[in-house]
Structure 1
Amino acid sequence: MKKYSLIYIVAVLFGVNQIFAQITSGKILYNVSMEDYYNKNVKEKEASPQLEKMHRMTADAAKNIQLELIFNQEQSIFQHQKGLSISDFKELDEFVKYLIAKGVYFTNLTKGKQILQTSYEGRKYNVRSEITKQDWTLTKEKKEFEKFICNKAVLVKEIAGKNREIIAWYAPEIPVSFGPVDYVGNLPGLILELKLPIATYTAGKIELNPKKDIKIDWPKDIDTMTEEEYKKEGDKVKARLDEGW
């Protein structure tokens, strides 16, 4: 009897592993929190009442943001849910959305490339970049997200001239190296929570292997430039604005 029980357990475990190994596509909805950013800028810096109000409005607006990641085995798209209004002020909407994600992120793991499709002054840009190796530290710490056991990874990255700690919780059971914004191609599993200095992205709804095939079209027919070229364009715009003042 014990022999048959052991065979049954092994068969079940093998079947579960096979299911996870066959994950080839999916849709993830991420919720956003800026509470840590709010606390750091208000409580630690003793902000004025006016500045505290602005940070509070920004953090409250972020609570209404949802971002969608869709992926197959090779490619993904990460973007704001279309048509989503997050506050009563259009200008605040646009500001907070830009803080959270600067546009639509297209990733191709096979080619090792990413395109950020963004816009400025009514003109759309495709900003092309290479997926580079990041020096993540993989830890043994684990926690559960939506029934998936995730491992913690830590990255120290220079942001605005200071070393900042980035924390990712990734799911090895979902064996694709995608995640929010440009954190892709480096971890052995899908990132279900990403904590950046500006915001924390946490997976809320997870749909794996949907019945309808996920096809991703690489963006075309829009001016494409490198990150360096895009920065130069931004510097030109800033110079024009400075002259206007």
Structure 2
Amino acid sequence: MKSAIQVFIGLLFFTVFAQSGETSDIVVEYTIKSLRDIEEIESEEAQNIVKETILLMDDFQFELLANKDVALFKMKEQLVSDDIPKYIYNIAVVSCDGEEVWYTDKRNNTKIVAEQGSGEPVCLTYDQENQWEIEAYQKQIGDFNCYKATTVRKEGKRTLDVAAWFTTDIPYSFGPLGFNGLPGVILELRISSVVYTASKITLDKREKIIQPKCVFKESYEGYYKRMDERMNAIINQGD
């Protein structure tokens, strides 16, 4: 038995987006935690909103379905209490990229981000190369010895620092949010102030890996450039 990470064969439910012949060899479930410093927020009202979203995020779960070539990462379906305001739930989901479904196929260097927010789903083609720097640090996650690697992700004008802990004991080169390219599965990932940590690993699990189909397609870079332009326009309206 793994101590902090349960390894077993069982059944998992996930949403079907389209038909595909790919099946997984492994399913990894992740919990998340926000490390945002609430004390840095000046407004008391904003502090209270962030506190509520952080508490809600503690109940969120994500899953990674993967075989040697293909992976799908997404947020699991959530049961939300009726007394939680919808805007709080939406903020929590966006804060941990829960509206994104990441599909990766290493064989043809395909990476798709499906934005499942309001309106028609948008597929973003992602072509950033992860330039990993593997560091000398090691730590245990459950009974797995993990190694640290760092990189960055660019989202328009923002550059986000990324730290990953991967284990070569499970030789699947995938992880949360489409990150791949390391010699083992990522069991912990920190991007900005959000940490994804593996809580359960299911081996020999045959689940369909479904490539998302979307109505509208756009490049990842173009999408965030458009978001930056929209935000600048909103800011300039107040001048």
- TM norm structure 2: 0.76
> Larger relative contact order (C-alpha < 8 A, sep ≥ 6)?
2
The 3-state SS of whatever aligns with 1:85 is: coil
Deviates more, 1:194-203 or 1:219-228: 219-228
> What is residue 132 of structure 2 aligned with on the other side?
136
Pick from 196, 208, 215 the counterpart of residue 222 of structure 1.
215
Considering only aligned residues, what root-mean-square deviation do their CA atoms show, in Å?
3.0
Q: Is the 1:144–1:150 contact (alpha carbons within 8 Å) kept by the matching residues of 2?
A: yes
Q: Is the 1:99–1:198 contact (alpha carbons within 8 Å) kept by the matching residues of 2?
A: no
Pick from 188, 192, 196 the counterpart of residue 187 of structure 2.
192
Distance 1:82 1:225, change over 3 A: same
Provide structure 1 residue ranges, at least 5 long, that are not aligned to the other structure. Answer: 1-23
Cα distance between partner residues in 1 of 2:46 and 2:60: 22
> What is residue 172 of structure 2 aligned with on the other side?
176
The one-letter code of the counterpart of 1:114 is K
- Please tell me whether Structure 1 or Structure 2 has the larger radius of gyration of its CA atoms: 1
> What is residue 14 of structure 1 aligned with on the other side?
none
Pick from 102, 114, 123 the counterpart of residue 117 of structure 1.
114
Distance 1:189 1:81, change over 3 A: same
Pick from 54, 57, 62 the counterpart of residue 62 of structure 1.
57
Q: Does 1:53 align with 2:43?
A: no
Query: In the TM superposition, what are the counterparts of 1:67-216 in structure 2 within 5 Å?
Result: 67-85=62-80, 88-101=84-97, 102-130=99-127, 132-156=128-152, 165-184=161-180, 186-210=181-205, 213-216=206-209
Distance 1:126 1:133, change over 3 A: closer
| Structure with the bigger percentage of helix | 1
* Structure 1 residue 189: Cα displacement: 0.8
* Structure 1 residue 164: Cα displacement: 5.1
Cα distance between partner residues in 2 of 1:225 and 1:99: 22
Q: Is the 1:72–1:215 contact (alpha carbons within 8 Å) kept by the matching residues of 2?
A: no
The 3-state SS of whatever aligns with 2:147 is: strand
Q: How many residues align?
A: 213
Fraction of identical pairs, as percent: 23
Cα distance between partner residues in 1 of 2:116 and 2:150: 31
> What is residue 6 of structure 1 aligned with on the other side?
none
Distance 1:113 1:91, change over 3 A: same
Write the deviation string for residues 122-171 of structure 1: whole angstroms up to 9, x where unpaired.
211111122x4323221232222232111111225567757654211001
The 3-state SS of whatever aligns with 2:178 is: coil
* Structure 1 residue 112: Cα displacement: 1.3
* Structure 1 residue 32: Cα displacement: 0.6
The one-letter code of the counterpart of 1:30 is Y
The one-letter code of the counterpart of 2:141 is F
Distance 1:138 1:68, change over 3 A: same
Q: Is the 1:26–1:209 contact (alpha carbons within 8 Å) kept by the matching residues of 2?
A: yes
